[in-house]
Amino acid sequence: MTVSEPNTLHAPPAAPPQPVPPDTGKGRVLVVDDDETNRDLLSRRLIRAGYTVELADSGPAALARIAGGGLDLVLLDVQMPGMSGLEALAELRLTQPSAQLAVIMATAKAQSEDVVEALDLGADDYVTKPIDLPVLLARMRTQLARLSAERRVRDREEQFALAVRGANDGLWDWKVRSGDVYFSPRWKEMLGYADEELENRMDAWYERMHPDDRPRVWQELHAHLRGDTTHFESEHRLMTRSGHYLWVRSRAAAVRNALGEPERVAGSLTDITSTKAADPLTRLANR
């Protein structure tokens, strides 16, 4: 991997490489190159730019370090003896998807076939040799920003999933135009079904709804679809697998397009049977 920078990057290093600094928060980068001079030179430049840098001199060494976790980005040379950079890329993508680890390949300008193969194997970007440092830094910033955004989304999804599990609620998601619907395993479990035993279709909900509740619930749902209400909320009864009725509270909100038309409705289902059983006005209706 050859690095190019005006007046300085072609000279041999004047001093031993700097030790890897503590994590700066800008990103932890693994530089993989079989050429020690290029490795050390690029390391110093990246450290100077504020990155935490680790080094590997071969594909197997890189894979061993990647398996240890904690990296944000790998700068991987294509041409290395033994295991090539492309082979190392194919191996690491078996366990490290792009959403978890960014990979930028370094390839010769004349070898466009390497670029195509690298992208097909899961590389996020590439730079050509000799490496233009400002271009490399710009591409690193782009990939690390993408990675950070994807991690934030994943963290929010995990937090939401934990909150839902803690609340013991079921989830549902209805795509209004296509009619596709998703009921979470917990939604089905509340009615006594395993995930595969109850189809993901709106009729599965409607058919199990108490006949006395259906007109009101559908009226409330369609009022929300028209935009008459800010959200949908309804208390009604659903028949369980055993034939008994469960009191539930369904809450949801519509996602609308630029014209205000509903594209999808997503929400939760809460078991409120114990609350209703304690209410003298409703406990007789649980049959």
Last residue of a domain, one of 119, 143, 162: 162
Same domain, 156 and 174: no
* Residues 153 and 184 placed together within one structural domain of the fold: no
Shared-domain flag, residues 113 and 11: yes
Domain containing 241 equals 168-286
CA distance 262 to 222: 10
Instruction: Say how far apart CA 158 and CA 68 lie, in whole Å.
Output: 23
User: Are 220 and 277 members of one domain?
Assistant: yes
Last residue of a domain, which of 109, 139, 162?
Answer: 162
Q: What is the CATH number of the domain that holds 243?
A: 3.30.450.20
CATH number at residue 33: 3.40.50.2300
Specify the pLDDT at position 170.
92
In this structure, are residues 86 and 123 in contact, taking their beta carbons and an 8 Å threshold? no
Number of domains in the chain: 2
pLDDT of residue 139: 96
91 and 205 both lie in a single domain: no
Residues of the chain with pLDDT under 50: 5-21, 284-287
For residues 103 and 122, state if they share a domain. Answer: yes
Please state, as a whole number, how many other Cβ atoms lie within 10 Å of the Cβ of residue 268.
18
Q: Which of 238, 199, 237, 206 is nearest to 222 (CA)?
A: 206
Residue 10 confidence (pLDDT): 39
Pair (130, 12) in one structural domain: yes
pTM of the shown model: 0.58
* Boundary-marking domain end, from 162, 192, 222: 162
